[in-house]
Amino acid sequence: MQKLQLEKARAIITGASSGIGQGIAKAFAEAGAAVIVNYRSDEEAADRIVGAIRENGGKAEAIQADVSTPEGCATLFDASDQHFGGLDILVSNAGIQRDAAFTELSIEDWRKVIDVNLTGQFLCAQEAVRRFRKQGHDPDRSPALGKIIFTSSVHQAIPWAGHANYATAKGGVKQLMESMAQELACEKIRVNAIAPGAIKTPINRDAWEDEDTRKALLQLIPYGRVGETEDVANAALWLASDASDYMVGTTLFVDGGMLLYPSFREGG
């Protein structure tokens, strides 16, 4: 089988020191891309990922930045310019959860989640578009001027009690992604999203680590297993490659069927 290639591509992956982000960084590097591994606080983890990529013959740099600020985002693009001479792909992935019952949800936790999961995605994507334009199109590199992939969630569509801040941010990411795609496709900038379901990462450890909660979680997944970061990384890789050149403004759900209202299999 022909493997998807990102030869000569330069990519920024935000929130890449753990979970889905680290999976995407490794998959992209393996496909030949030079990657900026962004982290906010866990320098050691980011260094480990960069070390593993380099050991494998890949190119990577660990860069600290808080993506919820314009300055933080700019740092990443400056680093990509400096180390790799430009940028072809942004994977705007950094995300957090601060869960609480609706009336217990503090304004701080509401703001924090919107700042990182929605405003952070907006800021990095805005900077990416500016840089793509400045860089100009080189059709020998790719038919696209640039590619942006947002990490959304099944919760851009599935309401989530106890997580109003998170679901609201992800619903916003859907509209941000589609509005950008509509506006920018004529410039050959491809904007798409991946929407993971329950993937085995630190963000949802409570849901899969313990046997009872894992059983309850599996009730929500028709395909019968919790997802792995590779499942999402493979989808991101395809969206980032030119094999998906006609994909514009689409959300790829990578969720084992979570979006299919599994409780309706026997009900309704």
> What residues are annotated to the active site?
166
* Residues 6+ away with beta carbon under 8 Å from 55: none
Minimum Å gap between C-beta 139 and ligand BGC is 36
Question: Would you say the C-alpha torsion 223, 224, 229, 231 has a positive or negative sign?
Answer: negative
Stretch near ligand BGC under the rule CB under 6 A, chosen from 50-58, 120-128, 137-145, 148-156:
148-156
Is 153 a binding residue for ligand BGC by CB under 6 A? The answer is: yes
Stretch near ligand BGC under the rule CB under 6 A, chosen from 68-76, 83-91, 118-126, 197-205:
197-205
Is 193 a binding residue for ligand BGC by CB under 6 A? The answer is: no
d(CA 199, CA 176): 23
Stretch near ligand BGC under the rule CB under 6 A, chosen from 47-55, 67-75, 134-142, 195-203:
195-203
* Residues 6+ away with beta carbon under 8 Å from 152: 170, 173, 174, 177, 193, 194, 195, 251
Task: Look at residues 90, 53, 54 and name the one whose alpha carbon lies nearest to residue 74.
Answer: 90
Contact present, 197 and 253 (Cβ < 8 Å): yes
**Whose Cβ is closer to ligand BGC: residue 16's or residue 62's?**
16
Given 114, 207, 218, 259, the residue binding ligand BGC (CB under 6 A): 207
- DSSP 3-state helix, strand, coil percentages of the chain (rounded to 5)? 50, 15, 35
Run of H or E residues at 232: helix 229-240
118-133 as b/e, with b when 16 or more CB fall inside 10 Å?
A: bbbbbbbbebbbebbe
**Whose Cβ is closer to ligand BGC: residue 153's or residue 229's?**
153
**Whose Cβ is closer to ligand BGC: residue 72's or residue 196's?**
196
Residues 47-106 within binding reach of ligand BGC (CB under 6 A): 97
**Whose Cβ is closer to ligand BGC: residue 45's or residue 207's?**
207
Stretch near ligand BGC under the rule CB under 6 A, chosen from 31-39, 80-88, 153-161, 173-181:
153-161
Kindly state the number of chain residues that form the binding site for ligand BGC, as judged by CB under 6 A. Answer: 9
Is 121 a binding residue for ligand BGC by CB under 6 A? The answer is: no
Question: How long is the chain?
Answer: 268
Given 147, 155, 190, 200, the residue binding ligand BGC (CB under 6 A): 155
Given 204, 213, 234, 250, the residue binding ligand BGC (CB under 6 A): 204
Which spans in 96-160 are helix H? Answer: 107-114, 120-135
d(CA 163, CA 109): 10
Given 191, 198, 235, 239, the residue binding ligand BGC (CB under 6 A): 198
Q: Where does this chain bind ligand BGC (CB under 6 A)?
A: 97, 153-155, 197-198, 203-204, 207
